[in-house]
Amino acid sequence: MSSLSAAVADIVAQDKPFAFFGHSVGALLAFEVARDLRRREAAVPFHLFVSGATAPHLCPDRPPRFHLQREQLLEEIRKLGGTPEDVLENSELLDLVLPTIRADFALFDTYTYHYEEPFDFPVTALAGDNDWEVDGLDTLQWDIHTRQSFRHHQFVGSHFFLHERSDDLRALIAREIERTAPGRLGTKRGFEAVEA
């Protein structure tokens, strides 16, 4: 994770304000890239959106899966949902996508959290109410990683609620960006939990 986050931080555009959105292991990556940028004293995102992800200080929260045999790994992928059964039954296609999926699991399974000061920009955590992978209570604990406002939104759906509720998700992100865009950031820390 540290190598990947450093590589992403190297290419983040610094010429205009930006926000980060990450889903699942991508949320941990966005979190670590933001911390890497802060350590470099570079521009940081004005808002971090984390979706379908356990708070970093609680990770990893399950036995490793990246080393599982093919059939066991396929069973884990089926539990997550979001991958069409046609793909899971196509041996040639699986040969192409399994290395990437295994790499995603490896990023999460080998992640090590190290304490740093909370961010000085807002964090919004997003979760599906029927997510087999992530406990909704664990997404609430992202609140300790910001000194600014924290909001939690729960959507009807599975781990891949972002596909199931994409219109609602885009609208929510647009509202949050409008609310927290540079020049509008407040200094009062607040907490709001909203069910969508």
At 66, the amino acid letter reads F
Burial class (CB in 10 A: 0-12, 13-18, 19+), 3: exposed
- Active site positions, annotated: 24
pTM given for the model: 0.86
Say how many C-beta atoms besides its own lie within 10 A of residue 132's C-beta.
Answer: 11
Say how many C-beta atoms besides its own lie within 10 A of residue 158's C-beta.
Answer: 20
Cα–Cα distances (Å) from 63 to 5, 186, 194, in that order, read 23, 40, 31
Cα separation, 148 vs 189, in Å, equals: 5
Closest residue by Cα to residue 146 from 169, 177, 129, 124? 124
What does each of the 196 residues of the chain score in pLDDT, given as a tens digit? 999 999 999 999 888 899 999 999 999 999 999 999 999 999 999 999 999 999 999 998 778 888 889 999 998 888 887 788 888 889 999 999 899 999 999 999 999 999 999 999 999 999 999 998 898 889 999 999 999 999 999 999 999 999 989 999 999 999 999 999 886 544 444 444 444 3
Q: Which residues pair with 123 in a beta bridge?
A: 48, 150
Name all domains of the chain by residue range, CATH numbers in brackets: 2-59+115-195 (3.40.50.1820), 70-109 (no CATH)
Q: Do the beta carbons of residue 118 and residue 90 sit within 8 Å?
A: no
Dihedral angle, C-alpha 183, 186, 187, 193, nearest 10 °: -140
Q: Do the beta carbons of residue 34 and residue 118 sit within 8 Å?
A: no
